[in-house]
Amino acid sequence: MRQSLTGKRRAAYTGGKMQDQDRDRQPDLKNVIADGSFWIIPERRLFDLIKLQFPSELQRLRNATFLKNNNAPRPDRMSPSEYLFGQDYAEIDRTLLGVLALRWIWNDEYDILTRNQGPVGIILKQESFRLLREIFLGNLKCSEDIYTLIVSIVINDLGKDPDLAKDYARLELIDISKVNHDMILYHAVKAGMVPALSLLTEENRKHVLVGIRLGSDFNFGQLAQAENAPASLAGLAEMRGHDRAFEMRFMEQILDLAGASGHEDWTCAKKLIEPIFQSYRNVYDVAHAIIDERMALREGYDIVLIRKLELLRRTGYARHFDIHIPQDRGLMRLLCLGNTTNAQEADLCTTAFTEGISNKTRQGLVHGLNLDGTVGEPAVQATYIPAILTQATGNTPSGSVDEKVAAISAVLRYLARCSIVQPESLERLPRGVTVIERDMRGIVPVLASTEFSRNPDVLDREDIPADQVANMAPGY
């Protein structure tokens, strides 16, 4: 009876909301890729083709929730979403910028990709850009590969649409609203709720599905920033024998990074800077080491922390660490979480950690930052904490060192509270959880307030976020 009801709901869903009533799917985008004009057609023509090919997916991206800085300066030309829909939609701009970045990489347009990236010291190096081109040109061997990568870009963030989880619940009678957006996408894909996948060949569809399955547990960007926990890397073991799927997923994640500031500046890949690219390169190396069984999960995870420290030392950061000492390792994670790219930023984080919080708070924070994530003691993944730290330091009266240290210290106290998992919280979650996600975006209005600017301690009054499932142990 359950299967019969589900089948009826799926048929009704497919026949209604998920079918495009205004027009049939047209192969125009595939054609321009096949004939090579994809790389040179005007940007607005490209946007029109993507809108025509993926109307349902772009509608979900319009609904997606997003942490946005409304004070960021804008380019003097219309955004992609403004052109397509008459107003700004953050995830539309981020997604379409990822597609543009693919063209810049393929066309060897280094100057376009890197313009507006910032000080000379952080701009993506020519050598790194050449490495990117080698990866993309080496893996995109035919027009179907290119089209598959574009589909991956377009559907990557559909789980951020709150309606996707609601629609899944109506279809399958299962509530998935408490899992992260990558896992929501994975469930939706399995239920046949993402029309774009039907446009792929069977082989390429399997590659994308394997990548989405990996993404439901493992996020490249989160590891690059040490935002997740070692247990989050367990899914990499399932990639053995799926080299093609892994390479496709990595390229998609690089383009996701390239588009990460597309809601603020859609004229370049502003976030694809040298320090962050090197972090992703570290993730690439670590992932392969785990897939090839050359490293254990924690050993691989710690490579990210060690290499981050090496990058900071080249900028003059002189503090020495021992990865085996919990307090040192905890601070190394914070340097990653804070997206520190130079000695000055690292010193701010270090001062806040060593002087800006109490010993008791620091001990609790160190404990949380060192958890690998097990069924008995899950780790906490404080999602969006890198953006939170950036916003906190950006809202100070004068931008002085003392003010920034006070702002970071307030966030660290909040993070310490978020890192604690009470027994009653664990009892409410499915058995087998190894990593609990807590979405930090709820405190954004506080961080943006005048009150926080004057007195960051107001953050101490805020409740911690609700629990979501980020990772489950194998077998659950």
pLDDT at residue 16, as a whole number: 38
Does residue 5 have a pLDDT over 80?
Answer: no
Does residue 2 have a pLDDT over 50?
Answer: no
Inter-axis angle of helices 343-355 and 326-337, nearest 10: 130
428-450 mean pLDDT: 93
pLDDT-derived band at 3, boundaries 50, 70, 90: very low
Continuous segment of H or E residues that includes residue 381: strand 379-383
351-380 mean pLDDT: 97
Q: What is the pLDDT of residues 177-205, one digit of tens each?
A: 878 889 899 999 999 999 999 999 999 99
Count other C-beta atoms under 10 Å from residue 397's C-beta: 9
Amino acid at 129: F
DSSP-derived letter for residue 475 is: T
Q: What is the pLDDT of residues 162-173, one digit of tens each?
A: 999 999 999 999
Continuous segment of H or E residues that includes residue 9: helix 2-15
Does residue 427 have a pLDDT over 90?
Answer: no
Q: What is the pLDDT of residues 45-87, one digit of tens each?
A: 999 999 999 999 999 999 997 666 666 678 889 999 999 999 9
Amino acid at 449: S
Radius of gyration of the chain (CA): 22
Order of all β-strands in the sheet with 379-383: 379-383, 433-439, 467-472
Q: Where are the alpha helices (DSSP H) in 25-142?
A: 28-34, 43-53, 55-63, 80-85, 90-106, 110-114, 126-139
Q: Which residue has the tokens 């994308």?
A: 208
Q: Where are the alpha helices (DSSP H) in 326-463?
A: 326-337, 343-355, 359-369, 385-394, 401-418, 423-427, 444-447, 450-454
Q: How does 134-162 read in b/e, with b if 16+ C-beta sit within 10 Å? A: ebbeeebeebbbbbbbbbbbbbbbbbbbe
Q: How does 333-356 read in b/e, with b if 16+ C-beta sit within 10 Å? A: bbbbbbbbbbbebbbbbbbbbeeb
DSSP-derived letter for residue 118 is: -
Does residue 156 have a pLDDT over 80?
Answer: yes
The residues near 114 (Cβ < 8 Å, ≥ 6 apart) are 123, 124, 129, 268, 269, 272
Which of the pair, 71 or 23, is modelled with greater confidence? Answer: 71
Query: 0.95 exceeded by the pTM?
Result: no
Continuous segment of H or E residues that includes residue 469: strand 467-472
The pair of structure tokens assigned to 275 is 């320090």
pLDDT at residue 70, as a whole number: 63
328-332 mean pLDDT: 98
Distance CA 98, CA 88 (A): 16
User: Are 50 and 96 contacting, i.e. CB atoms less than 8 angstroms apart?
Assistant: yes
Q: What is the DSSP string of 324-337?
A: TSHHHHHHHHHHHH
Distance CA 1, CA 403 (A): 62
Averaged pLDDT of the chain: 90
3 state DSSP class of 132: helix
pLDDT at residue 71, as a whole number: 65
pLDDT at residue 68, as a whole number: 62
219-242 mean pLDDT: 91
pLDDT at residue 99, as a whole number: 98
Which of the pair, 207 or 216, is modelled with greater confidence? Answer: 207
Count other C-beta atoms under 10 Å from residue 71's C-beta: 9
pLDDT at residue 67, as a whole number: 62
Count other C-beta atoms under 10 Å from residue 201's C-beta: 11
Does residue 4 have a pLDDT over 80?
Answer: no
pLDDT at residue 237, as a whole number: 86
Does residue 344 have a pLDDT over 90?
Answer: yes
